């Protein structure tokens, strides 16, 4: 009846991902899930299957953040030692790099531009500015500051509204956090791969040495006084 359709459908999805028997048992519906909706059960199990298949489950909040950053916006950008420039600010489509280009052109090229990798962003914060400070600095809108290590320490962005400022702060925080986590995971995987390669090379050298020992001993077997020489040669391999 209707109850058997869930494991059958999930079984087909699971088989496509090549899971093992233990993992398949782990995916089986639990008694405590009887009262839950089929949609909820499918959501939880699908996420597990996607994880086992090497694909991250859907993350609507992150997808929305990436969409906002890629779409871009017109913001006022100020780098240390520079003057504020009205610029188009946007990320690359994969949300790996945040870029900006001033709207003012010089010789048909942006007067100023810049970029920062999201993996280098250490903090994104809303800036509180007093009325006097805003007047002195020429600030007319809500400000947020992006702190990073390369190529400069911080960049100040001025939004048109508080809502725009808050959306960009949230999006940059989420996207940069995920970018750093992914970078660290990739680095960890590379380190594991290098260690595995070194271990494999060491094992190969040991096996080759053992083979040489065996060949030397066989060649010298029965050689009387040469037997001691064979042992000495083998011990140096």
Distance between CA 146 and CA 3 in Å, rounded? Answer: 52
Distance between CA 157 and CA 87 in Å, rounded? Answer: 10
User: What are the C-alpha distances in Å from 114 to residues 17, 152, 157?
Assistant: 42, 10, 13
CA angle 192, 181, 188 (to 5 degrees): 5
Which is more confidently placed, 222 or 179?
Answer: 179
pLDDT at 60 over 90: yes
| Token pair recorded at residue 109 | 């090229």
Distance between CA 211 and CA 99 in Å, rounded? Answer: 59
DSSP 52-75: HTT-PPP-HHHHHHHHHHHH-EEE
pLDDT score of 56: 63
pLDDT score of 193: 77
pLDDT score of 13: 47
Q: What is the pLDDT of residues 140-162, one digit of tens each?
A: 689 999 999 765 579 999 999 99
Q: Region of 146 please: left (phi>0), alpha (psi -120 to 50) or beta.
A: beta
pLDDT score of 64: 96
Question: Is residue 70 within 8 Å of residue 91, measured between CB atoms?
Answer: yes
Most confident range (mean pLDDT) of 13-22, 80-89, 160-169 is 160-169
Distance between CA 138 and CA 163 in Å, rounded? Answer: 20
Q: What is the pLDDT of residues 211-225, one digit of tens each?
A: 888 877 777 665 555
> Hey, what's the torsion of the CAs at 75, 77, 83, 85, to 10 degrees?
-40
Rounded to the nearest 5°, which phi and psi values hold at 80? Answer: -55, 130
pLDDT at 14 over 60: no
């Amino acid at each position: 009846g209707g109850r058997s359709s869930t494991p059958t459908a999930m079984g087909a999805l699971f088989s496509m991902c090549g899971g093992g028997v233990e993992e398949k048992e782990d995916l089986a519906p639990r008694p405590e899930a009887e009262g839950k909706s089929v949609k909820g059960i499918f959501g939880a199990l699908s996420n597990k299957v996607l994880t086992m298949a090497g694909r991250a489950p859907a993350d609507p909040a992150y997808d929305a953040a990436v969409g906002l950053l890629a779409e871009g916006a017109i913001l006022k950008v100020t780098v240390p030692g520079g003057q504020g420039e009205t610029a188009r600010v946007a990320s690359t489509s994969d949300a790996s790099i945040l870029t900006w280009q001033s709207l003012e052109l010089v010789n048909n090229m942006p007067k100023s531009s810049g970029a920062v990798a999201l993996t280098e962003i250490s903090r994104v914060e809303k800036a509180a500015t007093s009325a006097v400070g805003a007047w002195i600095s020429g600030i007319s809108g809500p400000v947020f500051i992006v702190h990073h290590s390369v190529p400069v320490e911080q960049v100040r962005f001025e939004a048109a509204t508080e809502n725009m400022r808050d959306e960009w702060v949230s999006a940059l925080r989420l996207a940069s956090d995920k970018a750093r986590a992914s970078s660290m995971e990739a680095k960890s995987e590379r380190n594991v791969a290098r260690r595995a390669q070194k271990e494999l090379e060491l094992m190969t050298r040991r096996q080759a040495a053992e083979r040489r020992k065996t060949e030397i001993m066989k060649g010298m077997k029965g050689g009387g006084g040469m037997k001691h020489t064979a042992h000495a040669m083998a011990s140096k391999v």
